[in-house]
Amino acid sequence: MGNICRSPMAERLFRQALGDQVLSHSAGTGGWHEGEEMNPPAARQVRARGADPEGFSARKLRADEIDSADLILTATADQFDYVTALRPDSAERTFVLGEFGRLLKGVDASTLPAGDVYERGVALVRAVSVLRAGHPASPQDDLDDPWGRGDQVFSRVADEILATVEPFAALLLEK
């Protein structure tokens, strides 16, 4: 939506887990907060988990960013619908974050190519897409919007993001 809470938390937590192995960028489906920094409670949660919120600037998602992305993770099914309406050909590499994390559990790491992180990532996204088998995400896969709510909600959402970030990083980086 506004790109100051969930998405920037995910961007920075992915960056922390993956280092310079993968480029992670955040963009919102709405442009209400373009140019703003991360919401302070979101930044606190990022810092509390060892990542750096500094230098973040909210922006609106552009179609060319969808075209160039190998994996697109959204906070909600509505955002998934927004992305795939803009670029229908992105559906097989676009997931609700919680859905992606849930489906990662079914990936057999031994079937992924060893070595090259990019090739492994492409194979991992393909494997998760096959596991989805065209089924929509479930409502439980959505991340609650913590904007305007307390630190407890921001903390829960950050933990839900990490529930996908950590197994993804482990599979991708062969940990």
What is the Cα–Cα distance from 88 to 85, expressed in whole angstroms? 6
Domains identified in the chain and CATH numbers: 6-172 (3.40.50.2300)
Residue 111 has a pLDDT of 96
Which positions of the chain have pLDDT values less than 70?
Answer: 1
Residue 31 has a pLDDT of 85
Residue 17 has a pLDDT of 97
Residue 1 has a pLDDT of 67
